[in-house]
Amino acid sequence: MLSSFQGKTIIVTGGSKGIGKGIARVFAKNGANVAVVARNLEAAEECASELNEENTNVMAFTGDVQDRESMKAVARQVFEKFGSVDVLCANAGIFPAANLEDMTNEDWDTVMNTNAKGTFHAVQACIPYLKQAEYGRIVITSSITGPVTGYPGWSHYAASKAAQLGFMRTAALELASHQITVNAVLPGNVLTEGLEGLGDDYLTEMASAIPMKKLGTVEDIGYAALFLASKEAGFITGQTIIVDGGQILPEN
Binding site for ligand NAP (CB under 6 A): 13-14, 16-20, 38-40, 43, 63-66, 91-95, 114, 118, 141, 143, 187, 189-190, 192, 194
Shortest spacing between CB 153 and ligand NAP, in angstroms = 14
Taking the least distance from each CB to ligand NAP, the nearer of 39 and 178 is 39
Classified as helix, coil or strand, 71 is helix
Q: How far, in Å, CA of 31 to CA of 42, rounded?
A: 24
Burial of residue 152, with CB atoms counted within 10 A of its CB: 0-12 exposed, 13-18 middle, 19 or more buried: exposed
Taking the least distance from each CB to ligand NAP, the nearer of 36 and 172 is 36
Q: How far, in Å, CA of 100 to CA of 154, rounded?
A: 8
Q: How far, in Å, CA of 201 to CA of 206, rounded?
A: 9
Shortest spacing between CB 130 and ligand NAP, in angstroms = 19
Which residues are identified as catalytic? 157
Shortest spacing between CB 160 and ligand NAP, in angstroms = 8
Taking the least distance from each CB to ligand NAP, the nearer of 76 and 178 is 76
Taking the least distance from each CB to ligand NAP, the nearer of 33 and 192 is 192
Classified as helix, coil or strand, 170 is helix
Shortest spacing between CB 224 and ligand NAP, in angstroms = 12
Cβ neighbour number for residue 191 with a 10 Å cutoff: 19
